[in-house]
Amino acid sequence: MIIGGTAPDAPQCGTGPARPLAHAGVAGAVPVAGAVPVAGAVPVAGAAGAAGAAGVMPVIVAGAEFDPLRDEGAAYADRLKNAGVPAEYPSGPWLIHSFAASLSVVDAADAKVRAILDMFNQNLGS
């Protein structure tokens, strides 16, 4: 799960590439409901070689301890950070891939999603 205003250079998944989030000026970006472009933001060409990321919304790459994509998610968050994009990687202990589908069933999933939403609200300044 990737939440934020931009996510160029998305990691590969088993069924194909993850879809980059919308950001004005980023080639190949796919609009995502709720993605908020930042006025005056400098587009990021890609996490591998970015010209800068001043004004880019923070990105939250949520992972889980028993997610087969855990390491890729952590590496992607690191690449974003190295490119100057504010990024966080909250990994949920004892959780599996798609843990958010277990809301109201698994207490740990409820707690992790609440924590991620708190981060998201903090990033929005609310």
Q: Give percent of the chain above pLDDT 70.
A: 56
For 105, the domain range is: 59-126
Is residue 61 predicted with pLDDT exceeding 80? yes
What residues contact residue 122 under an 8 Å CB cut-off, 6+ apart? Answer: none
Average pLDDT across the chain, whole number: 71
Q: How many domains are there within the chain?
A: 1
> Could you report the per-residue pLDDT of 25-50, keeping only the tens digit for each?
444 444 444 444 444 444 444 443 33
Residue 76 amino acid letter: Y
| Longest pairwise C-alpha distance within the chain | 44
Say if pTM beats, i.e. exceeds, 0.85: no
Is residue 82 predicted with pLDDT exceeding 50? yes
Residue 24: per-residue pLDDT = 42
Classify residue 11: in a domain, yes or no: no
Classify residue 63: in a domain, yes or no: yes
What residues contact residue 75 under an 8 Å CB cut-off, 6+ apart? Answer: 11
